[in-house]
Structure 1
Amino acid sequence: MTAEEVCPVVLQVRGVVLPEREERSFWIDGDRLRTDPVPHADLVVDGGWLLPGLVDVHTHPGTEGIEDPFSDEVLRRHLVDHRDAGVLLVRTPGSAARMPGWVDEDPDMPRVRSAGRWLATPGRFFPGFGRDVSEADLVHAAVEEAKASSGWCKVIGDWKHSEPALPLEILTAVVQAVHMAGGRVAAHCQTAEGSRNAVLAGVDSLEHGMHLDPDLIGRMAAQGTAFVPTLSVFGATADQRRAGAPSSTRDWWLAGWEGMLPNVSAAHEAGVTVLAGTDSFPCGTVTSEIEWLVHAGLPAEAALGAASWSARSWLGLPGLVDGAPADLVAYDTDPTIDTSVLAHPTRIILRGRVVS
Structure 2
Amino acid sequence: MRVRGIVLPEREERTFRIDGDRLRTDPVGGGEAVVDGGWLLPGLVDVHTHPGTEEAKEGTFDDETLRRHLTEHRDAGVLLVRTPGTSARVPEWVDEDPELPRVRSAGRWLATPGRFFPGYGRDIGEDELVRAAVEEAESSSGWCKIIGDWKWNDPAVPLDLMTAAVAAVHAAGGRVAVHCQTAEGCHNAVLAGADSLEHGMHLAPDLLDRMAAQGTAYVPTLGVFGARADARRAEEPSGSRDAWLTGWAGMQSNVRAAHEAGVTVLAGTDSFPCGTVAAEAAWLARTGLPAEAAVGAASWAARSWLGLPGLTDGAPADLVAFDTDPTLTPEALAHPSRIILRGRVVA
Fold conserved (TM > 0.5)? yes
> Is the counterpart of residue 297 in structure 1 residue 306 in structure 2?
no
CA contact (8 A) 2:2 2:30 kept: no
> Is the counterpart of residue 285 in structure 1 residue 276 in structure 2?
yes
C-alpha change, 1:189 and 1:120, in structure 2 (3 Å) is: same
Q: Which residue of 2 aligns with 1:193?
A: 184
Q: Which residue of 1 aligns with 2:19?
A: 29
**Equivalent residues in 2 for 1:5-84 (5 A)?**
11-65=1-55, 67-84=58-75
Deviation at 1:63, TM superposition (A): 1.4
Q: Aligned with 1:136: secondary structure?
A: helix
Deviation at 1:40, TM superposition (A): 2.7
> Is the counterpart of residue 212 in structure 1 residue 203 in structure 2?
yes
Deviation at 1:32, TM superposition (A): 0.2
Q: Cα RMSD over matched residues?
A: 0.7
Q: Aligned with 1:149: secondary structure?
A: coil
**Equivalent residues in 2 for 1:126-205 (5 A)?**
126-205=117-196
- Percent of aligned pairs sharing the same letter: 76
Runs of 4+ in 1 over 3 A off after TM superposition: none
Superposed CA offset, 1:74-120 (max 9, x none): 00000000000000000000000000111000000000000000000
> Is the counterpart of residue 313 in structure 1 residue 307 in structure 2?
no
**Between Structure 1 and Structure 2, how many residues are aligned?**
346
- Give the letter aligned to residue 155 of structure 1: I
Structure 1 CA distance for aligned equivalents of residues 292 and 120 of structure 2: 37
Q: Aligned with 1:137: secondary structure?
A: helix
Task: Extract unaligned runs of 5+ from structure 2.
Answer: none
Q: Which residue of 2 aligns with 1:323?
A: 314
- Give the letter aligned to residue 117 of structure 1: R
Of the candidates 336, 339, 347, which is equivalent to residue 345 of structure 1? 336
Deviation at 1:244, TM superposition (A): 1.3
Deviation at 1:39, TM superposition (A): 3.0
Of the candidates 70, 86, 90, which is equivalent to residue 95 of structure 1? 86
- Give the letter aligned to residue 4 of structure 2: R
C-alpha change, 1:68 and 1:178, in structure 2 (3 Å) is: closer
- Give the letter aligned to residue 157 of structure 2: L
Of the candidates 243, 246, 249, which is equivalent to residue 252 of structure 1? 243
Structure 2 CA distance for aligned equivalents of residues 202 and 69 of structure 1: 31
Deviation at 1:69, TM superposition (A): 1.4
- Give the letter aligned to residue 270 of structure 1: A
Q: Aligned with 2:81: secondary structure?
A: strand
Superposed CA offset, 1:255-286 (max 9, x none): 10111111111000000000000000010000
Q: Which residue of 1 aligns with 2:222?
A: 231
Structure 2 CA distance for aligned equivalents of residues 281 and 289 of structure 1: 12
Structure 1 CA distance for aligned equivalents of residues 152 and 233 of structure 2: 18
Superposed CA offset, 1:298-356 (max 9, x none): 11100000000000000000000000000000000100000111121110000000000
Structure 2 CA distance for aligned equivalents of residues 40 and 314 of structure 1: 34
Deviation at 1:38, TM superposition (A): 4.1
Of the candidates 116, 120, 137, which is equivalent to residue 125 of structure 1? 116
Structure 2 CA distance for aligned equivalents of residues 343 and 158 of structure 1: 33
Of the candidates 85, 94, 102, which is equivalent to residue 76 of structure 2? 85
Structure 2 CA distance for aligned equivalents of residues 346 and 107 of structure 1: 20
Output the TM-score relative to the length of structure 2: 0.99
Structure 1 CA distance for aligned equivalents of residues 155 and 59 of structure 2: 28
Deviation at 1:73, TM superposition (A): 0.2
